[in-house]
Amino acid sequence: MRTLNTNEMTQQFDNMFMAPVRAYMALSIDYSEKMVNAQMDASKAYFDTGVAQMRQMMDVKDAEGLRSYMEGQQKVAKDLAERAKGDADKVVSLQQDFIQKSQKITEDNVKQAQTAASKMTKTA
C-alpha cells in the first residue's frame, strides 16, 4: 500500500501555485507603490507651480508687472509641458518594467510546471 506524503504534496502545491502568486503579488505591490509615488510627486509639482503662479499674479501692480508676468507664462508653460512629458515617460517605464517582470514570473512558472509534469510522467 502506498502512503501519502502530505509534506511533499504541500511543498509541490506551494511551489506550483502559491510561490508564483506571492511573487506576482509582491511585484504588483511594488508597482502600485511606485505609481502612487510618481502620481503624488507629479501632483505636488503641479500644485506648487500653480501656487507660485498665483502668488506672482498677486504681485502684479501695474502694466509693466502684468507684461512681465505674461512673459513668464511662456516659460512656465514650457516647463509644465516638459514635466508632463517626463511624468508620462516615467509611467510608461514603470508599466514596461512591470510587464517584463510579470512575464518572467509566468515563464518561470510554466518551465517549472513542465519540469514537474515531465517528472510525473516518468514516474508513472
CA distance 37 to 60: 35
In a domain? residue 17: no
In a domain? residue 102: yes
How confident is residue 1, by pLDDT bands cut at 50, 70 and 90?
very low
**In three state form, how does the secondary structure of the chain look?**
CCCCCHHHHHHHHHHHHHHHHHHHHHHHHHHHHHHHHHHHHHHHHHHHHHHHHHHHHHCCCCHHHHHHHHHHHHHHHHHHHHHHHHHHHHHHHHHHHHHHHHHHHHHHHHHHHHHHHHHHHHHC
CA distance 60 to 68: 9
In a domain? residue 91: yes
Q: Which domain holds residue 56?
A: 34-107
How confident is residue 4, by pLDDT bands cut at 50, 70 and 90?
low
In a domain? residue 96: yes
Look up the pTM and report it: 0.75
Q: What is the mean pLDDT of residues 2-28?
A: 82
In the numeric block, the cell 508599466 is attached to 95
Q: Please count the structural domains in the chain.
A: 1
How confident is residue 119, by pLDDT bands cut at 50, 70 and 90?
confident
Q: What is the mean pLDDT of residues 17-44?
A: 94
